[in-house]
Amino acid sequence: MDREAKKEAFRKYLESSGVLDTLTKVLVALYEENDKPSSAVEFVQQKLGGPSISDYEKLKAEKLDLQLKYNELLETHKETCRQLDELKNSKNRSGNNTC
């Protein structure tokens, strides 16, 4: 498929999937804004349903915090499992197995 045919096929795909219509509506909304936003990209993102840059940064920080807490809990869980195994092994060695 030559380059022009690929372009045309892609354009038809964008049109049939509604992407062109959606982008056109967002760009028209930006055009009609009396007070143009300082970040046109952020305006487009918000109109398309994405988070603002500040919301994204907050979510990123929250994810990092939760990842750290998860890692701590995972380590605590591993240590607890290790201690449990030690207790089980010490009971088995002493012959007081009640199971």
Per-residue confidence in pLDDT tens, the chain, 99 aa: 799 999 999 999 999 999 999 999 999 999 999 999 999 998 998 899 888 788 889 999 999 999 999 999 999 999 999 999 999 998 888 765 554
C-alpha to C-alpha distances, 50 to 33, 57, 60, nearest whole angstrom? 19, 13, 14
Can you give the pLDDT at residue 42? 87
Q: What's the residue count for the chain?
A: 99
The pTM of the full predicted model, rounded to 2 decimals, is: 0.52
Question: What is the Cα 53 distance to its own chain's centre?
Answer: 14
C-alpha to C-alpha distances, 95 to 84, 86, 87, 91, 98, nearest whole angstrom? 17, 14, 13, 6, 9
Strand locations in 1-99 (E): none
In degrees and rounded to multiples of 5, residue 95 shows phi and psi of 80, 10
Task: State which H helix or E strand residue 49 sits in.
Answer: none
